[in-house]
Structure 1
Amino acid sequence: MTQSGLRGEGPAVEDTMPLAQHEKSTGGGGHGRRGGGGRGGRGAGGRPPKRRVLRWSATVLAVVILGTAGAGYLYYEHLNGNIQKGERSSGDSKAARSKANADGQTPLNILLIGSDSRNSDANIALGGSADNRGNPPLGDVQMLIHLAADRKSASVVSIPRDTRVDIPKCTDPKSGKTFQATNTIINESLAHGGAGCTLATWQNLTGVYIDHWMTIDFAGVVRMADAIGGVDVCVKQNVWDRSTALAHGGSGLKLTAGTHKVKGEQALQWLRTRHAWGSDLLRARAQHMYLNSMIRTLKAQSVFTDTGRLMDLAEAATKSLHVSEEIGTGKKLYDLSMQLKAVPTNRITMTTMPNVQDPQNRDHVVPDGNNAQKMWKLLRDDVPFDANGKPTDAKQGADGAKKTTQPSSPPAHADAQIGVTVQNGTRTAELAPVGHRATAISDELVQKGFTRATPDASTTPAVSDTVVRYPSAELKGDAERVATALGIPVGSVERSTDVSGVTLVVGADWREGSTYPKQKAPKAGDIPDNSDAINGADTKQCMDVYQPYRW
């Protein structure tokens, strides 16, 4: 994809050889300025004919290489021109970036969104519902891909499209229209300001900083599936996802029992099927099977070392994906794919967010309290979802700094002189904020000698983990002093331009008590039982077909 990848390929070098051989066969420099008869049989300028042949070959070769490089550059620019880009975040969200591990590495989080857009003839042909043409698209497929800081494992979490969540205030970067905060199902977030609003929704729900987003529509899925050449999927019984007395519509997927290689429109049908599996939740499982199989297929084909295949995939990917602007070049997408490629398949874990039925609407779900919070903490702490790594790998998470208990800077002021603002960020997706929490903790600080501690009565964004923030370097020691007085790990102290002084935000991990509770360190592979996990190396997965859709 890059220029360097296209320079000096075999045919370009071979094209120079007949020219060199032709010069040699005609006596080299017989037409030089001084004629052909130089001293000692030398040609023009006293150079031996052989050396002149080499010089001529090198000149022609240089021209050819430069021409190839130019073609490579034009192709690279062509790929860049294919890519549609957008603003990373268009919503009200302030998730903190992941901290580096002991080796200075940070995790990478990418939000993948499958859009149901009907805004083109191709998408209408594939998805139907022509009457929805022009309507804002919905994000029916949403997956967070977490690439570990050490790049040795990857964790994927899907959120069902009908999960009720808080969607923050968002502004559409294209139209400038502002959408007020609301509480509704998550697939509507895409229509409230684009993918950047969906990203902000995820950040507020999980507390995980998301680096990039990618969206793909129906036509893009078909294009990518064709470029890959097909992916193996499996059903236990004959399946036909069609309109029945139970439900109207269907993807049209029709397969006999067993394993099949699906591509093109049939791949899209597999990814869209839900009635035949029995629910949206099981549709996520089928999608995870497809992605795992696709990764294994790409690795087995050595596609990353096959220039022709790689160019086909590059063309398909750049035409199919709409990405956040900071990864909006062919080279950056290629670099990203190489990082994902490096992860062994048995270190890739696909999951679905633990969820329970929404008490307000039986057709919707909500995050499953402690189980969902446990999953988000694994992601924030960069703990692998699998237990297949070496023991040392599990200790390389980005949360290593949070275990630090010793301050790194001395306080600049005495305790009684440190101004501390205490905020209540204890709200979660399932629970309302704890009443008067900021007052209770500020009172505790006053009792400990921080007499200038005061509660902040204004509305505070929820935070999963308690944090102490400071605005400038000279206040770092003061912030660490406040943290240690309450038993908060020094690693939870961070610099932030969002505060004007030392600010303690009491998070959802500290809903009661006056001393910060000791946190149990999460372990690799310790994911909730109801996360429907599938390992990337598991080739025996096969979908069970809901009885009305068997044939």
Structure 2
Amino acid sequence: MGSARSEGGPERDQDPAGALGWDDGLYEGRDAGVETGRAKVPGQRGAGDAQGADGEGEAEPEDPDEQPGRDSGTPGPVAVPEQPGPPDGESGPGRRRPEAGEEQDAPDEAPGEAAEAAPRKPKRRKRRILAWTAAGLALTLVAAGTAGWFYYQHLNDNLDRKPLHIGKSRAPEPTPNAAGQTPLNILLIGSDARDSEENQRLGGARETYGGPPLADVQMLLHLSADRSNMSVISMPRDTLLKIPECTDPESGKVYPATVGTRMTNQTLMRGGPGCTVATWEELTGIRIDHFMMVDFAGVVSMADAIGGVPVCVDANLHSRTSDGKGSGLKLKKGTTEIKGEDALAWLRTRYGFGDGSDIARAKAQHMYMNSLVRKLRENTGLSSPNKLRNLAEEATEALTVDEELASVAELYALAEELKKVAPNRTTMATMPWVWSPSDRNRVEPKPDDAEQLFRLVREDIALDGRDGDSPSPSPSEDETSEDPAADPAEIAVLVRNSTGSPVAAPVSGRATDLVKLLTEAGFTGATADQNQVENREETAILYPSAELEGDAQSVAEALGMPLGTVRKSAEVSGVTLEIGADWAEGDTFPKPKKGDNEPPDSAEALNGSDDTACMEVDPAFTW
């Protein structure tokens, strides 16, 4: 992994961040110089660490597509300055007092000169003046440090805090790599809240003022354990999913798990961003460490603070329909730098981009984020202390974050981790999808491709293909659960035949075959599920709670399956083997095929270094 130092532009004579007492290493691409041990990297876990109304009767919200401007967007995470010290008396800046028994600094004169110098009154007066000057300087430094500390607290107070997860079940912790490092997963959420006059003005749809917010933008940012690469996965706003049970942390209201599917953007109205996190974990099996959420006004204020970000369209664009729908974005063909409300309009535009779907909008959001990251690394437009201070102010006022990320120091530590990844090792992707058979205006996760993409993230495999096509590690190469496994004869295993597909029936007797295999391995409590079950592309072993994780891993080891196939799920009540189409025959679990460790084409991956990408404009929206 190359040093971030080489990514930046030329050094400046004046360091604007230094003038503030901050470190703007993220913006320059130079080493930030954060002191080791100052703050634990948010979400970084060691090998031994532990983390700590259903809509069934409710009227479903009106489709935002039918309302002018019911879209949203959010740029990526923003770095903020490092923490200045507290006031004097609280281990803050200023002159250090010697500890008890510590030697004082030697005087300016040699020992023999002191006696001779006693009669020299001018020198004594000079020393008195120097002493007063030093005292004044010390007081000035203490005052400056105190002001810096209070400003730091002010930035902390700007941040809005919410619980990370408000569901019943968490996804399992990822297994640390050989160096003891773990990946970092952050959910980025764009809220369409109309809870203020400014958000109402920017978002339109006056009839929704004061109503529950929707999570119109959802992106999972995955930073690899070794910090060499980063993947960002968008979920289309129109995705239909089952939403798990969530409990509102403020009112205590319990929203039961949905019986059918709902649009994923409704997760935010079921108790807050913690329910959006719970839904992602339930769907993907990926443990999420943090979330960051921003609303319309926040996008505009941060985009203004950052400055122009270049975007490209392949024809003149005006996003406005004859009946007034659309974002109103108007751009000339080619590359334009956008900021403020134009940046928000770009992130919200559907009418005019591609086929006018939320899928096309996600692609435009990826392009903006890639340009934003390149700009921040090059320090373009952020060359003065005032601009850096303004960015810190706007970012902290705009963001809602989880409680573990709710300080400037934690956000800065996160930014330091993110800047380690070069743009050419950053990949933007969209969750593979298919049109929903129940509603042709909605989509669902594509059964095989979506799971393949999620598996790559769970197993910390880079989406740019530079991790190679080596097979998944064998169980003996992975770290096992801290939960001890019971004796095989005491472990009840339910075996489900999920080998069918949309065009083929399940393989007859497949569950019975695997029950026999498990029984021979000592799992005499294994039984075949006689009920009709959903088909799945890949075989997995599911367990409902932490106390059964060791048992599930024991089953995987007996069958020769990698631990990456063992997942926690609220959909099962005990250890459950779901046999997928990938193991439709034979007693030996199949090795990954060539290409299995690459994202599917349907993910539409975009490399972060691609500065030639241009949005396709619908001819009906040109001028």
TM over 0.5: yes
Query: Aligned equivalents of 2:423 and 2:544: distance in 1?
Result: 39
What TM-score comes out, normalization by structure 2 length?
0.71
Query: Aligned equivalents of 1:236 and 1:481: distance in 2?
Result: 55
Counterpart mapping for 1:22-101 below 5 A:
39-42=115-118, 56-101=132-177
Query: Aligned equivalents of 2:485 and 2:250: distance in 1?
Result: 47
Q: 8 Å contact 2:498–2:533 — kept in the other structure?
A: no
- Residues 130, 480 of structure 1: alpha-carbon distance in 2 compared, 3 angstrom cutoff: closer
What amino acid is aligned across from residue 179 of structure 1 in structure 2? Y
Q: 1:487 aligns with which of 528, 540, 560?
A: 560
Matched with 2:368 is 290
What amino acid is aligned across from residue 448 of structure 1 in structure 2? A
CA deviation map 1:235-270 (0-9, x unaligned): 11111111226xx51111011112111111111111
**Structure 1 residue 207: Cα displacement:** 1.2
CA deviation map 1:428-481 (0-9, x unaligned): 9x99999999887555433333335568999999997426799789x96x8766
Query: Aligned equivalents of 2:145 and 2:533: distance in 1?
Result: 54
Counterpart mapping for 1:281-320 below 5 A:
281-301=359-379, 307-320=385-398
Moved more, 176-185 or 275-284: 176-185
- Residues 45, 71 of structure 1: alpha-carbon distance in 2 compared, 3 angstrom cutoff: farther
Query: Aligned equivalents of 1:206 and 1:452: distance in 2?
Result: 29
Q: 8 Å contact 2:215–2:268 — kept in the other structure?
A: yes
Query: Aligned equivalents of 2:584 and 2:193: distance in 1?
Result: 45
Matched with 1:179 is 255
**Structure 1 residue 276: Cα displacement:** 0.9
Matched with 1:26 is none
What amino acid is aligned across from residue 234 of structure 2 in structure 1? S
Matched with 1:386 is 464
Counterpart mapping for 1:536-551 below 5 A:
536-551=608-623
What amino acid is aligned across from residue 82 of structure 2 in structure 1? T
What amino acid is aligned across from residue 547 of structure 1 in structure 2? P
Percent pairwise identity: 42
Q: 8 Å contact 2:84–2:149 — kept in the other structure?
A: no
Q: 8 Å contact 2:86–2:150 — kept in the other structure?
A: no
SS at match of 1:361: coil
Matched with 2:230 is 154
Q: Does 1:341 align with 2:412?
A: no
Query: Aligned equivalents of 2:263 and 2:383: distance in 1?
Result: 42
- Residues 375, 450 of structure 1: alpha-carbon distance in 2 compared, 3 angstrom cutoff: closer
Query: Aligned equivalents of 1:7 and 1:487: distance in 2?
Result: 59
- Residues 327, 459 of structure 1: alpha-carbon distance in 2 compared, 3 angstrom cutoff: farther
**Structure 1 residue 313: Cα displacement:** 1.7
- Residues 502, 355 of structure 1: alpha-carbon distance in 2 compared, 3 angstrom cutoff: closer
CA deviation map 1:65-107 (0-9, x unaligned): 3222211211111011100011111123331111111111111
What amino acid is aligned across from residue 541 of structure 2 in structure 1? T
What amino acid is aligned across from residue 111 of structure 1 in structure 2? L
Query: Aligned equivalents of 1:160 and 1:455: distance in 2?
Result: 36
- Residues 255, 204 of structure 1: alpha-carbon distance in 2 compared, 3 angstrom cutoff: same
Counterpart mapping for 1:356-505 below 5 A:
356-387=434-465, 389=466, 402=475, 404=477, 418-423=489-494, 441=514, 444-453=517-526, 465-466=540-541, 482-489=555-562, 503=575
Moved more, 51-60 or 115-124: 51-60
Unaligned 5+ runs, structure 2? 1-80, 96-112
Matched with 1:532 is 604
- Residues 48, 458 of structure 1: alpha-carbon distance in 2 compared, 3 angstrom cutoff: farther
What amino acid is aligned across from residue 334 of structure 1 in structure 2? Y
Query: Aligned equivalents of 1:414 and 1:353: distance in 2?
Result: 39
**Structure 1 residue 358: Cα displacement:** 0.9
Matched with 2:349 is 273
- Residues 412, 43 of structure 1: alpha-carbon distance in 2 compared, 3 angstrom cutoff: farther
Matched with 1:120 is 196
What amino acid is aligned across from residue 292 of structure 1 in structure 2? N
- Residues 359, 492 of structure 1: alpha-carbon distance in 2 compared, 3 angstrom cutoff: closer
Q: 8 Å contact 2:329–2:349 — kept in the other structure?
A: yes
Q: Does 1:229 align with 2:307?
A: yes
What TM-score comes out, normalization by structure 1 length?
0.80
Query: Aligned equivalents of 2:620 and 2:417: distance in 1?
Result: 42
What amino acid is aligned across from residue 150 of structure 1 in structure 2? D
Q: 8 Å contact 1:444–1:514 — kept in the other structure?
A: no
Query: Aligned equivalents of 1:426 and 1:318: distance in 2?
Result: 50
Query: Aligned equivalents of 2:274 and 2:288: distance in 1?
Result: 10
Matched with 2:76 is none
Query: Aligned equivalents of 2:490 and 2:121: distance in 1?
Result: 84
- Residues 54, 438 of structure 1: alpha-carbon distance in 2 compared, 3 angstrom cutoff: farther
What amino acid is aligned across from residue 492 of structure 2 in structure 1? T
Matched with 2:82 is 2
**Structure 1 residue 421: Cα displacement:** 2.2
Query: Aligned equivalents of 2:579 and 2:287: distance in 1?
Result: 16
Q: 8 Å contact 1:143–1:156 — kept in the other structure?
A: yes
Q: 8 Å contact 1:441–1:514 — kept in the other structure?
A: no
**Structure 1 residue 535: Cα displacement:** 1.0
- Residues 526, 456 of structure 1: alpha-carbon distance in 2 compared, 3 angstrom cutoff: closer
Query: Aligned equivalents of 1:92 and 1:470: distance in 2?
Result: 10
Query: Aligned equivalents of 1:41 and 1:223: distance in 2?
Result: 64
Unaligned 5+ runs, structure 1? 17-36
Q: 8 Å contact 1:426–1:510 — kept in the other structure?
A: no
**Structure 1 residue 525: Cα displacement:** 7.4
**Structure 1 residue 513: Cα displacement:** 5.5
Query: Aligned equivalents of 1:464 and 1:219: distance in 2?
Result: 45
- Residues 434, 64 of structure 1: alpha-carbon distance in 2 compared, 3 angstrom cutoff: farther
Query: Aligned equivalents of 1:153 and 1:361: distance in 2?
Result: 37
Moved more, 353-362 or 67-76: 67-76
SS at match of 1:190: helix
- Residues 163, 52 of structure 1: alpha-carbon distance in 2 compared, 3 angstrom cutoff: same
Matched with 2:285 is 207
What amino acid is aligned across from residue 241 of structure 2 in structure 1? V
What amino acid is aligned across from residue 218 of structure 2 in structure 1? Q
**Structure 1 residue 232: Cα displacement:** 0.8
Moved more, 61-70 or 437-446: 437-446
What amino acid is aligned across from residue 119 of structure 1 in structure 2? D
- Residues 490, 281 of structure 1: alpha-carbon distance in 2 compared, 3 angstrom cutoff: closer
Q: 8 Å contact 2:169–2:545 — kept in the other structure?
A: no
C-alpha RMSD of the superposition: 4.3
